[in-house]
Structure 1
Amino acid sequence: MLGIIGQERAYRSLSMGVDIEKQGYNVYLAGAMGTGKTTLAWEILERKAKNEPPPPDCCYVHNFKNPDCPQVLLLPAGMGSSFKKDLEAGIDRAIKTLLKAFESEEYEYEKNAILGVFVDETNRMYMQLDEEAHSYGFTISRNQNSINSVPLKNGEPLSQEEFISLPEEERAEIMKKSAIIQEKLNQAFRQFKELEKNIKVKVKELENETARSALAPFFAELFEKYRLCKELVEHIEAIQEDLLANYEVFVQPEEKSPLSLFRLIDRRTSLRRYQVNLIIDNSELKYAPVIFESNPTYANLFGQIEYEGEFGILATDFSKIKAGAIHRANGGYLILRVYDVIKNYYVWDALKRCLINQQIVVENLSRTLGLSNTETLQPQPIPAKLKVVLIGEPLYYYLLYNWDEEFRRLFRIRADFDIEVKKNRKRIKEYASFISSVCQKEGLKHFTPQAVAAVVDYATRLAEDKNKISTMLNKVVEIVIEADCWANYERAELVGLEHVKKAIVEKKYRSSLLENKIQDMMLEESLIINVNGKKVGELNGLAVYEIGDYAFGKPVRITAKTFMGEKGLVNIEREIRMSGNIHSKGVLTLSGYLGAKYAREKPLTLSASLTFEQSYQGIEGDSASSAELFALLSSLADLPIKQGIAVTGSVNQNGEIQPVGGINQKIEGFFRLCQMKGLNGEQGVIIPRKNLSQLMLEEELVEAVKKRQFTIWAIEDIDEGLEILMGRTAGKREENGRFSPDSVHALVDQRLKEWNSKKRQGMMYSDRAISEGRRTQKSRRRKGHE
C-alpha cells in the first residue's frame, strides 16, 4: 500500500467496518498525525467503491402542490443532467411554438370566426330591438358607453324641449312606452352579456386547444423518453398542467408601460418553476464516490439555501438550494477530520442526526440554531445511505466514547494506527518502496541504497528503538524532500548518503537555537555543571526538553544534603510546588528503598533535602530518581561522586533501575557538553540496561565511545551504579545482618546507626531530666504538707 507501512491492525479493522453495511458501523481511524490514516482510508474506500455502482443523481424541482416544500427527485446516474437539458430545451421550444401558434393565420381565422358570430348575433339583436322600438314610436341610440331609447315624432327624434312642450297626457303615454322599451333593452343587455360570456368561453377553449396542440408534441417526447420513471412522469404532467393554466403569461404582447417590468419578473418567475435544480450530477462517476471534506463548515457539509435580492426584499426558491459534501458522498463514503467537526458542535450534532435518521435535510444554520426564521422553504429530505470515516487522535475517540452516547451507536468500528512497528527485512523493503513512490509523486531524484539505509536509520531513531521503525511518515517525507534539495545544490544525479546526512544535520541546526544557548551558558558557567573532579552529594542528572518537533538533552545538577533529624526526605521542588506528580512519586519511592535497605532493625532517623540546582521551572517525570538516590547515598556515606558521569533512570523500592524515555537525546546532550569542555576519557553516562535496545546515537558519539574517550554504562540496579560513581564496592548484607566492611552500604548504615544512637541517648537524657523534675516536685509537696 502506497504510503502505509506496518498498519495491518488498522487495515483489517477499516476493511471490516467498510464491508458491514448495517446502520451504525461507521469507522473512527485513531492515530497520531502523519501515520498514513488518510492515505489508508482513501485506498480502502476507493477499492471498495470501485465495486459499487454510482449513486443516483439528486434534483430539486418545484412542488406544484406545495410550493414551500421543494420536491426531491432521485434519478439514475446521468439521467438528472439529461432530464434537465431535455426539459429546458423542451420548455423553450414549446413556448416559442406557443407564441407562433397564437400568431398563426389559422388561430386568427378561428378566433375571428367566433368573434364574427358574436358580432352578427349582436347586430341581429340590435336590429330586432330597433324594430320593436319603432313599433312603439321609439328608436335606439347606441354609443361607446351605453344604449338608450329615444322617442320619435313624425319620424324624427324628439328633443328635450319638444318633449317638455307636449301635453301632459302625451308625455305620460311616451313615458309608459319608454318603460316598456327599457325593459326590452335590459332583457337584450342580459342576452348580450350571456352571449359575450359564451363567446369568451369559446375563445378560451380555442386558446386552450391551440396551446394544448402546440405543447402536446414536446411533452409527448418527454413522456416517451422517461416513461419508465414514475416520478418524472408525474412531474412532467404537473408541468404540463401548470403551463396550460398559465400560458397567458408567455403569449401576452410586451407593452411599454410602468407595469411591464413586473410582467417581465412574473414571466421569469413562472419559467423558473419549470427548471430543474440538479444539485448532484453523477453522470461522470463510474463507481461510488469517496469524498474528503477538509473544511466541514455547516454549509460545506450539509448545503444551504441561498437568497436573491428583488426590490430590496430577499427571496428564495428551490433553485437556490445548494448541495454540500454529504450530498456528494451520499451512496458512497465521506472522510472527515474529527477535530474539524467537533469544534463546531452544531456540525457534529447535525451529522449525528443525519446518520441516525438516515436523512439529509437542507436548511440554513440560522434556522437550525433557532436564531431566525426568514426562509420559508422546507425542502423534502433526501434519503441518506453513506459510510462516514472520522480521522483523529485517540484522545478524541475516548472523550466522545465516554461523553457522547450517540457516538457509541454510530461509530462502532475503531481502527488504531501504531506510531512504530517491528523492524525487519519486509519493513525495510516497504520503506524503500515508499521512498521511491514519494520521489515519483513529488518529482524528486531517486535515492541510492546507502541513502535509503540512512533514511531507515533516521526512522529507527524516531521510533527510539533499534528493533523498531517509525510509521510517522510525514517526518520521513520531510527528510526525503530536503535531501533532494541538497542533492540539487550539488547537481548530483541521485540522492546519496551524504545528502541524507546533510538534511538531518541541517534540520537539527534549524531547531537547535535554544539548545545552543543553554550550552553556551554551561560553558560560561552561568549554569553550573561540573564534568571533572569529585563531589559529595552532588551529581549530574539528565533531562529532555521538547520544543515543538525538536527534543534535546540537558544536564541538570542534583544535590542532596543529609543530617540527623526526623523530617525524613524533603523534596524542595515539591515544597514550592514545582514538582509534578510523577516526579514527587519518584522521590517518595526513595523513602521506601531507604527504609527497606537500612531500617529493618532500627528506626530510620534521617533528615534530607533534594533539589535540582538552578531549576526555575516545573519538573516532571521520574527519570532522575536513581540520580537523586545516588546523591543521597553519597551524602550519607560521605563518599564523593565522579562529576564526569551523568545518570538517568528511574528506580523502584527494590533498587532496580527502570527504563526511561528520550535516552538518545540525554546521552548526546551530555556528550556535547563534555566535548566542548574537553573529553578526558573518564566521562560518560549511566543508563538503564533495558534502554540498550533504544540506542541510536550520532556517529561522532559512537566514534568517541570506540576510542574510549566517552563511556556508556548500562546497569540493572543501584549497586552497579554506586560502584561506578564512587569507585567502591556497594556491599551486600552478610549472614550476621551487617553489610560488607568498608562498602558504600556499610558506611551509610553506620551513619544512620550513629544518628539513631544519638537520638536514643538524647531521649534518655530527656526522660532522666523529666523523672528528676517529677521527684523534686513530689519532695517539695511532702515537705509543705508536713
Structure 2
Amino acid sequence: PPLFRRYQVNVLVDHSESKGAPVVYEDHPTYNNLIGRIEHIAQMGALVTDFNLIKPGALHRANGGYLILDARQLLLQPYAWDGLKRALRSREVRIESLSQVLSLVSTVSLEPEPIPLDVKVVLIGERLLYYLLYQLDPDFGELFKVEADFNEEIPRTPENNLLYARLIGTIARKEGLRPFDRGAVARVIEHSARMADDAEKLSIHLLSTADLLREADYWAGVAGNGVVTADDVQRAIDAQIHRADRLRELVQEEIKRGTILIDTTGERVGQVNGLSVIQLGNFAFGRPNRITARVRLGKGEVVDIEREVELGGPIHSKGVLILSGFLGARYAAERPLSLSASLVFEQSYSGVEGDSASLAELCALLSSLAEVPIRQSLAVTGSVNQHGEVQAIGGVNEKIEGFFDVCKTRGLTGEQGVIIPATNVQHLMLRQDVIEAVKAGQFHIYPVQTVDQGIELLTGIPAGERDEEGNFPEGSINQLVEARLIELAEKQRAFAAPRKEAGGEEEEIKEEEGGDERTE
C-alpha cells in the first residue's frame, strides 16, 4: 500500500547468490544505463518520486567486479563517455539525471548519496578507436592503462590445423549442425588461409567461419547428405561469392564485349597489362588495366597523368617518382636524362592508389624507350624500388584470378600468365580452377625478383648486365634503352647549340648597326 512505501527497502543490487566477482556486459551503454536513474510517477498532474524509484546502473551491478563495454556503442551515446570517466576518476557512482547535470531544470528532487566504486572496466573495439582515444583524449591513457591487441591470424602449423579442426567441430555442435567430414574440414581450413591472404596463416575471424559452416550445413541438407562434405563447403563459398560479384561480372562482360580494351594475344610497344584490386565490403576482385607509356625528347620528366588530373593517390605518385630515380641512376648517372615520358591507366575514370602497378609502368616505359614489343598474353603486378628490386603487393590472389578469368573467357592458349613478386609466392591461395590450369600448362605464374627478370619474360630479350668496362651486351634491353637515352641527350644538345650561335650572330649585327649610327 502507498502508506507503507516509506518503510520498504529498495535493494539496488543483490549478489547473495553470485559466486565470485560479478562480470557484467552492458550492450546498450547509455548514460542512465551506466550511472543509474531516478524514475518518477504521475500523481494529480505532477511528477513525484521517492527512494523506491532509484534504479541501479551497470556500474552498480558490476561494482567489485568487471564491466565490459563496446567502445563504439559507448561513444555513440550522448554524455555516456563523460559520465563513465567521471565515475572512474572520482571512484564513486553518483546517480544524477542528465537534466540536473546539464542544469536544464531546477526542480528539487532526490540526491542519493554517492556509492564507492571499485570496478575494472574493459573496453572492446577496433584498433582505430583505441589509437584515436589515446591520441585525442588526455584522460584515456590515465584511466585505461592496460591494452591487449589481439591478432586475427595464427600460423598455419600442423598443431594449429588440428586446433582449427576442433574449433570447427565445437561450432558445429554448438549450432546443432551436421558433422563435417575430413574433406570439409580441410576445405574450411584452406578457405581460412585464403581469408588471411597467406598460405602460412589462418584467419580466426569466427563470425565469417561460423557463417560459412551454417551455409555449408544448409547445402548438405539440400543435397540430402548426412554429413557436410567438401563439395558442400565449396558450394557455400561459391554462393557467397555469387551474391557479391555483380560488379565483377559487369567488368568481365565489358572486357569480353570489347568495351574495356584488354589484349591477351599479340605484342605491343609501350603497352602492358597491369592488375588492380577493387574492394567492395568484404568482397574483393581483380581487374586488368591497360597501362601505356609514351616517350619523347624532354627534360627528364616522367609525367603521371593520373596525378596531373588528381586521380592518382600519393602512394601511386610516389611509385612513379621512384621510376624516375631508377632510370636516372641506371642509365643517366653521368649525363642528363633528356626524355619526357607519360604514363597512364587507360580507361580509368576513378581514383588510382597504391604502388603495385609500378613494375608494370616501368616495363612499359622500358619497352617504349627500347622500342621492343611486350607480350600481351602476360599481366604484371608488383612494386619496385630505386634499385630495381620487385617488392610484395597485396591482393595477389584476386589479381591473378581476375586476369585468368579474362583469358579463360577468350580461351586458354598455354601462353598466358601473370608475373608476380617472388615474395608473394607464400601468399598464394588460388581457386581450384586456376590451380588445375597451371598444372596442365595452360596458364602460368612467374615469380620475379628484379625488373630485369620481368622485362625478359615480357619481351623475350635478355635484359643484360654491365661488363667490366661498364657496357651492356649488344642487343640487350638495357643496351637499347641506354642507346636511346644517349640519342635523346645528343639531340637535345644539338637543338641547344644552334640557338646559341644564332643568338651570337644577332648580337654582332646589332653592334655593327649601333656603330654605324654613332659614326653618323
Confirm or deny a common fold (TM above 0.5).
Answer: yes
Q: Within the alignment, does 1:494 sit opposite 2:494 as a pair?
A: no
For 2:286, what is the secondary structure of its paired residue?
A: strand
Q: Within the alignment, does 1:687 sit opposite 2:408 as a pair?
A: no
Tell me which residue corresponds to 1:281: 14
Distance 2:97 2:331 in 1: 74
Tell me which residue corresponds to 1:306: 39
Q: Within the alignment, does 1:584 sit opposite 2:341 as a pair?
A: no
Q: Which amino acid aligns with 1:737?
A: G
Distance 2:352 2:108 in 1: 58
Q: Which one of 488, 491, 502 corresponds to residue 769 of structure 1?
A: 502
Distance 2:179 2:93 in 1: 48
Backbone CA RMSD of aligned residues: 1.2
Tell me which residue corresponds to 1:667: 400
Q: Which amino acid aligns with 1:755?
A: L
Tell me which residue corresponds to 1:415: 148
Tell me which residue corresponds to 2:459: 726
Tell me which residue corresponds to 1:231: none
Q: Which amino acid aligns with 1:364?
A: S
Tell me which residue corresponds to 1:344: 77
1:205-238 per-position Cα deviation (integer Å, ceiling 9, x unaligned): xxxxxxxxxxxxxxxxxxxxxxxxxxxxxxxxxx
For 2:147, what is the secondary structure of its paired residue?
A: strand
Distance 2:255 2:119 in 1: 61
Q: Which amino acid aligns with 2:82?
A: D
Distance 2:501 2:466 in 1: 36
Tell me which residue corresponds to 2:268: 535
TM superposition shift of 1:408: 0.8
1:316–1:375 CA contact under 8 A, matched in 2: no
1:292–1:334 CA contact under 8 A, matched in 2: yes
Relative to the length of structure 1, the TM-score reads 0.65
2:291–2:346 CA contact under 8 A, matched in 1: yes
TM superposition shift of 1:736: 2.6
Q: Within the alignment, does 1:433 sit opposite 2:166 as a pair?
A: yes
Q: Number of matched residues? A: 519
1:695-722 per-position Cα deviation (integer Å, ceiling 9, x unaligned): 0111110110111110000000000011
Distance 2:451 2:466 in 1: 15
2:293–2:343 CA contact under 8 A, matched in 1: yes
Q: Within the alignment, does 1:444 sit opposite 2:177 as a pair?
A: yes
Bigger drift between 613-622 and 336-345 goes to: 336-345
Distance 2:338 2:238 in 1: 52
TM superposition shift of 1:369: 2.4
For 2:424, what is the secondary structure of its paired residue?
A: helix
Q: Which one of 294, 298, 309 corresponds to residue 27 of structure 2?
A: 294
For 1:366, what is the secondary structure of its paired residue?
A: helix
TM superposition shift of 1:493: 1.4
Q: Which aligned pairs between 1:737-756 and structure 2 lie closer than 5 A?
A: 737-756=470-489
For 2:264, what is the secondary structure of its paired residue?
A: coil
TM superposition shift of 1:781: 2.1
Distance 2:333 2:462 in 1: 21
2:300–2:336 CA contact under 8 A, matched in 1: no
TM superposition shift of 1:649: 0.2
TM superposition shift of 1:376: 1.2
Distance 1:720 1:780 in 2: 64
Q: Which aligned pairs between 1:69-80 and structure 2 lie closer than 5 A?
A: none
Tell me which residue corresponds to 1:572: 305
TM superposition shift of 1:343: 2.2
Tell me which residue corresponds to 2:191: 458
Distance 2:513 2:21 in 1: 108
1:426-476 per-position Cα deviation (integer Å, ceiling 9, x unaligned): 211111111111111111111111111111111111111111111212111
Relative to the length of structure 2, the TM-score reads 0.98
Q: Which amino acid aligns with 2:48?
A: A
Larger-gyration structure (1/2):
1
1:341-396 per-position Cα deviation (integer Å, ceiling 9, x unaligned): 12235111111111111111111122222222335110111111111110011111
Distance 1:449 1:523 in 2: 39
Q: Which amino acid aligns with 1:276?
A: V
Q: Within the alignment, does 1:359 sit opposite 2:112 as a pair?
A: no
Bigger drift between 641-650 and 768-777 goes to: 768-777
For 2:215, what is the secondary structure of its paired residue?
A: helix
TM superposition shift of 1:270: 4.2
Tell me which residue corresponds to 2:5: 272
TM superposition shift of 1:301: 1.7
Q: Which amino acid aligns with 1:474?
A: L
Q: Within the alignment, does 1:321 sit opposite 2:59 as a pair?
A: no
Q: Which amino acid aligns with 1:400?
A: L
Distance 2:207 2:22 in 1: 27
Instruction: From the two aligned structures, give the one with the greater helix fraction.
Output: 1
1:305–1:320 CA contact under 8 A, matched in 2: yes
Distance 1:274 1:619 in 2: 73
Distance 1:494 1:486 in 2: 11
For 1:740, what is the secondary structure of its paired residue?
A: coil
For 1:416, what is the secondary structure of its paired residue?
A: coil
Distance 2:103 2:304 in 1: 56
Tell me which residue corresponds to 1:205: none
Distance 1:520 1:369 in 2: 60
Q: Which one of 437, 446, 449 corresponds to residue 713 of structure 1?
A: 446
Share of identical aligned residues, percent?
47
TM superposition shift of 1:785: 2.6
1:335–1:390 CA contact under 8 A, matched in 2: yes
Greater relative contact order, per chain length (Cα 8 Å cut-off, separation 6+) = 1
1:651-709 per-position Cα deviation (integer Å, ceiling 9, x unaligned): 00100000000000100111011000111111100000000000011111011011111
Q: Which one of 400, 422, 431 corresponds to residue 133 of structure 2?
A: 400
Tell me which residue corresponds to 2:342: 609
Q: Within the alignment, does 1:551 sit opposite 2:296 as a pair?
A: no
Q: Within the alignment, does 1:373 sit opposite 2:106 as a pair?
A: yes
Q: Which amino acid aligns with 2:148?
A: A
For 1:415, what is the secondary structure of its paired residue?
A: coil
Distance 2:506 2:87 in 1: 88
TM superposition shift of 1:404: 1.6
TM superposition shift of 1:480: 0.9
TM superposition shift of 1:567: 5.9
Distance 1:494 1:368 in 2: 60
For 1:532, what is the secondary structure of its paired residue?
A: coil
Distance 1:472 1:739 in 2: 52
For 2:251, what is the secondary structure of its paired residue?
A: helix
Distance 2:182 2:451 in 1: 44
Q: Which amino acid aligns with 1:307?
A: H
Q: Within the alignment, does 1:333 sit opposite 2:66 as a pair?
A: yes
Distance 2:106 2:280 in 1: 49
For 2:79, what is the secondary structure of its paired residue?
A: helix
Bigger drift between 774-783 and 346-355 goes to: 774-783
1:447–1:495 CA contact under 8 A, matched in 2: yes
Distance 1:419 1:730 in 2: 42
TM superposition shift of 1:316: 0.8
Q: Which amino acid aligns with 2:81?
A: W
Distance 1:593 1:345 in 2: 54
Q: Which aligned pairs between 1:94-493 and structure 2 lie closer than 5 A?
A: 270-493=3-226
Q: Which aligned pairs between 1:30-109 and structure 2 lie closer than 5 A?
A: none
Q: Which aligned pairs between 1:588-667 and structure 2 lie closer than 5 A?
A: 588-667=321-400
Distance 1:405 1:344 in 2: 20
Tell me which residue corresponds to 1:519: 252
For 1:286, what is the secondary structure of its paired residue?
A: coil
Q: Within the alignment, does 1:698 sit opposite 2:434 as a pair?
A: no
